[in-house]
């Protein structure tokens, strides 16, 4: 526009920059010298400029000693806002001339639709020429939904797509009570996601439906080989100790001890951050950005076996795949010889297994649901792992770390609270291990601060970290006090492996978590994960095995350390579906707009960036837990479980057992897990 209409462009620039130019000319004498203003005028001008800029950003940059001056930054922000205003004015003028020149208005209309803007506001902005009409927004929504369905159909018919689905509830309250809606306003719907199979997975890798059916336990004519169990999994990912005698898990624990000291210990140790390398990788999923597409929500409750069958059929229908015996479509692929990956939680897996068992007597692969390959979600597995540690160790002593929130934690704390407690408690326990170890080496070092004052080298603390991993995790002499260290580090290792996409490390962690699930009564997780791992490693062909293992986690951002469980992506999609779509909408409108959730999210990001919104992020900064860690570490120092006490249960010289305190319920639970 600056090239095609320079006069108009310069006119707008002059009008919108008039106040800035006047401010820059005021304050000079007849010789052109700058007249020093009073402190009050300086302060008013500064706050006037800061008020139009990013206050938080300017303060942060000044504290960080940014090389760019504040005035230069504010001038850039002012220039960007002026450019934005010129584009807006020109867009209004262009639309008045040509109704089809409405790019800005269309985008703003969809943005208003996604933020639940009242219809009166949209109509007002449409009269001003800033937005399109309500009817145009509705037409645009329907057009985008149709394009999304076309993309889903294209991806699904390639047969290189995986699916995930889960239920979500919406409360559709009404002001007019009728006989059909007077009792129930809570609607149970099912959402779905679809994403492409990557990592060099081909159609031939999925062409194994008949091979798997011959080995299926639901096939009455199959000759089944001996069933594999948990003990057979232990031969996978065999470990060899290093030169210092540490196993792979011990080396990870050593790294975690070192990482906690550098990150949360005295400030002296932060200088070693660059020398701390990542743990070794067992088998990592390649980092590739995974595009995820939302499907239309389904008016189906998948809390039953029938509901899950309907969900599977509906998802495939949205992708243009149906029963080849019933539908005669030359463009539709026949999946009778292929398998399709479906992700879900534990309940979904149980119902799909029941459905396949019921349909095992059918004649066609489609009716037998022979194409379904279920993959359990790792996010729900991580929730079960957190609940296991919570039940065994943390629940009785929650008042120490959260004295004012015992009501929340005593009833149903939720995963986020349990996850943070495990992390915080584990950090403090490992710092306490450091305190005990340095005191053993030199009695003068009664605290980590005194140890830091001696200025140890990185090689010194690295050698001590290996000692901590060997003596404070794997030592069976005072095992009751050290089991908590071991299991918290196991949870840390599982979280780290899931975040980095190290599928090999995830599997080695599961080999240990399965007995812990069994000891705490989570038998469904034991059976599901054992059966899943045995199928993957001992039943599935090599191509399908790779497809399943490399797509059990996805990386929507394509960044290092940003892998997510597929079930977590479904839960996030459910959250945005319920947040972006207002509750007073009809069920049909929710179903129509549900495929547009990702488009709405992209619109929000675009408007936040282009319109220079402040406070864009939805991520919270890491909480400053230094004071809480100090109190918790002080409590652990008084009641240390890292040191052998006079009444600790250890073998005496005669081979018997010494005196011990009265065992608690926690001790019994710990021994149950250990056995």
- Are the C-beta atoms of 478 and 295 separated by less than 8 Å? no
Domain residue ranges in the chain: 1-24+37-101, 143-228+291-376+566-610, 248-280+378-489+645-675
Least confident segment among 209-218, 485-494, 552-561, 658-667: 658-667
With helix as H, strand as E and coil as C, how does 640-670 read? CCCCCCCCCCCECCCCCECCCCCCCHHHHHH
Helix (H, G, I), strand (E, B) or coil at 371: coil
Which ranges in 293-414 belong to alpha helices (H)?
A: 305-318, 346-358, 378-389, 398-401, 406-411
Distance CA 519, CA 517 (A): 5
Write down the pLDDT at residue 60: 43
Strands 564-565 and 553-554: antiparallel
Question: Does position 641 have pLDDT exceeding 70, yes or no?
Answer: no
Give pLDDT tens digits for 422-436: 888 888 888 988 988
Q: Where are the alpha helices (DSSP H) in 550-583?
A: 566-580
**What's the pLDDT score for residue 474?**
53
Residues whose CB is less than 8 angstroms from the CB of residue 417 and which lie 6 or more positions away in sequence, other chains included? 408, 409
Residue 563: CB atoms within 10 Å: 26
Q: Would you list the DSSP string of 31-76?
A: TSPBPPPPHHHHHHHHHHHHHHS-HHHHHHHHHTT-SS-HHHHHHH
Tokens of 577: 């579906």
Sign of CA dihedral 225, 230, 233, 235: negative
Q: Can you say whether the dihedral through the CA atoms of 327, 332, 335, 340 is positive or negative?
A: negative
Above 90 in pLDDT, residue 639? Answer: no
User: What is the dihedral sign for C-alpha 484, 489, 495, 501?
Assistant: negative
Residue 646 token pair: 């006079």
CA distances from 158 to 153, 154, 207, 267, 555 (A): 9, 7, 13, 55, 21
Tally DSSP H helices, then E strands, for the chain: 28, 7
β-bridge partners, 651: 657
**Is 9 a residue whose pLDDT tops 90?**
no
Residue reference for tokens 């009564």: 521
Rounded Cα distance, 300 and 298, in Å: 5
pLDDT at site 666: 41
For tokens 């303060």, name the residue.
Answer: 59
Q: pLDDT for 556-575, tens place per residue?
A: 999 999 999 999 999 999 98
Q: How confident is the model at residue 396 (pLDDT cuts 50, 70, 90)?
A: low
The percentage of residues in the chain with a pLDDT greater than 90, rounded to a whole number, is 39
Q: How far is CA 103 from CA 48, 91, 316, 329, in A?
A: 33, 8, 35, 38
398's tokens: 């929650």
Q: For residue 3, what pLDDT band results from cuts at 50, 70 and 90?
A: confident
d(CA 147, CA 141): 10
Average pLDDT over residues 124-145: 89
Residue 181: pLDDT band (50, 70, 90) is low
Spatial distance between the Cα atoms of 451 and 457, rounded to a whole number of angstroms: 11
Q: Inform me whether the pLDDT recorded for 165 exceeds 60.
A: yes
DSSP 439-484: HHH-TT--SHHHHHHT---HHHHHHHHHHHHHHTTS--TTHHHHHH
pLDDT band at 104 (very low <50, low <70, confident <90, very high): confident
Report residue 179: phi and psi, to 5°.
Answer: -65, -30
> Which residues are paired to 166 by β-bridges?
191
Give 554's strand partners. 564
What mean pLDDT is predicted for residues 644-665? 42
State the alpha helices, DSSP H only, in 501-565.
503-519, 523-538, 542-549
Q: What is the pLDDT of residues 189-204, one digit of tens each?
A: 999 999 999 999 999 9
Q: Grade residue 18 by pLDDT with cuts at 50, 70 and 90.
A: low
Q: Which helix (H) or strand (E) holds 556?
A: none
Range in 164-173, 200-209, 254-263 with the lowest mean pLDDT: 164-173
Structure tokens at 3: 């090239």
Pairing of strands 564-565, 186-196: unpaired
Output the six-digit token pair for 330: 């030359």
pLDDT band per the 50, 70, 90 thresholds, residue 34: very low
Residue 616 predicted with pLDDT over 80:
no
Across all residues in the chain, what is the average pLDDT? Answer: 81
**Range with top average pLDDT, 77-86, 188-197, 581-590:** 188-197
User: Confidence band (pLDDT; 50, 70, 90) for 481?
Assistant: low
């Amino acid at each position: 526009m600056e090239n095609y209409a320079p006069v108009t462009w310069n006119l707008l620039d002059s009008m919108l920059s008039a106040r800035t130019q006047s401010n820059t000319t005021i304050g000079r004498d007849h010789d052109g010298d700058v007249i020093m203003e009073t402190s009050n005028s300086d302060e008013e001008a500064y706050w006037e400029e800061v008020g139009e800029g990013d206050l938080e950003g300017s303060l942060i940059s000044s504290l960080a000693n940014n090389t760019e001056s504040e005035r230069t930054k504010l001038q850039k922000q002012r220039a960007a806002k002026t450019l934005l205003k010129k584009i807006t004015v020109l867009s209004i003028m262009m639309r008045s001339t040509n109704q089809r020149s409405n790019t800005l208005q269309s985008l703003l209309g969809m943005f208003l639709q996604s933020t639940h803007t009242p219809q009166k506001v949209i109509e007002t902005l449409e009269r001003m020429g800033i937005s399109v009409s309500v009817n145009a927004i509705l037409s645009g929504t329907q057009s985008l939904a149709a394009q999304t369905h076309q993309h889903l159909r294209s991806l699904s018919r390639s047969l290189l797509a995986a699916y995930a689905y889960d239920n979500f509830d919406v409360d559709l309250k009404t002001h007019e009570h009728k006989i059909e809606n007077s009792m129930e306003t809570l609607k149970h719907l099912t959402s779905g996601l679809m994403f492409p199979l990557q990592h060099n997975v081909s159609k031939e890798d999925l062409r194994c439906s008949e091979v798997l059916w011959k080995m299926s336990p639901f096939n009455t004519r199959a000759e089944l080989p001996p069933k594999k169990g948990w003990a057979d999994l232990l031969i996978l990912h065999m470990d060899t100790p290093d030169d210092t005698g540490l196993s792979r898990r011990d080396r990870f624990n050593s790294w975690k001890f070192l990482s906690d000291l550098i990150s949360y210990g005295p400030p002296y140790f932060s200088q070693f951050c660059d020398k701390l390398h990542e743990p070794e990788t067992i088998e990592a999923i390649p980092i590739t950005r995974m595009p995820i597409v939302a499907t239309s929500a389904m008016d189906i409750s998948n809390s039953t076996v029938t509901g899950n069958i309907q969900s599977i059929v509906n998802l495939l229908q949205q992708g243009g795949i149906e029963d080849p015996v019933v539908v005669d479509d030359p463009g539709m692929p026949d999946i009778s010889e292929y398998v399709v990956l479906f992700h879900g939680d534990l309940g979904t897996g149980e119902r799909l297994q029941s459905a396949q068992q019921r349909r095992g007597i059918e004649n066609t692969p489609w009716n037998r649901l022979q194409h379904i390959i279920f993959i359990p979600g790792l996010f729900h597995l991580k929730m079960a792992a957190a609940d296991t540690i919570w039940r065994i160790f943390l629940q009785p002593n929650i008042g120490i770390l959260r004295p004012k929130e015992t009501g929340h934690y005593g009833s149903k704390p939720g995963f986020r609270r349990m996850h943070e407690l495990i992390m915080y408690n584990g950090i403090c326990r490992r710092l306490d291990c450091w305190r005990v170890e340095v005191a053993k080496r030199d009695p003068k070092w009664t605290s980590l601060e005194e140890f830091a004052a001696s200025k140890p080298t990185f090689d010194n603390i690295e050698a001590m970290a290996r000692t901590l991993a060997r003596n404070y995790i794997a030592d069976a002499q005072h095992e009751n006090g050290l089991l908590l260290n071991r299991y918290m580090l196991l949870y840390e290792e599982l979280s780290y492996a899931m975040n980095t996409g190290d599928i090999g490390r995830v599997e080695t962690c599961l080999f240990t978590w399965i007995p812990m699930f069994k000891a705490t009564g989570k038998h469904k997780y034991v059976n599901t994960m054992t059966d899943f791992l045995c199928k993957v490693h001992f039943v599935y062909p090599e191509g399908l095995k790779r497809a399943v293992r490399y797509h059990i986690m996805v990386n929507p951002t394509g960044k290092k350390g940003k892998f997510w469980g597929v079930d977590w992506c479904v839960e996030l999609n459910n959250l945005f579906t319920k947040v972006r779509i207002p509750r007073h909408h009809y069920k049909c409108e929710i179903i129509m707009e549900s495929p547009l959730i990702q488009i709405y999210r992209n619109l929000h990001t675009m408007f936040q960036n282009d319109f220079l919104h402040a406070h864009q992020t939805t991520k919270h900064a890491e909480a400053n837990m230094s004071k809480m860690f100090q109190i918790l570490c002080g409590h652990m120092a008084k009641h240390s479980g890292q040191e052998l006490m006079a009444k600790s249960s250890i073998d005496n010289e005669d081979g018997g057992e010494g005196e011990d305190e009265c065992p608690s319920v926690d001790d019994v639970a710990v021994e149950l897990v250990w056995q």
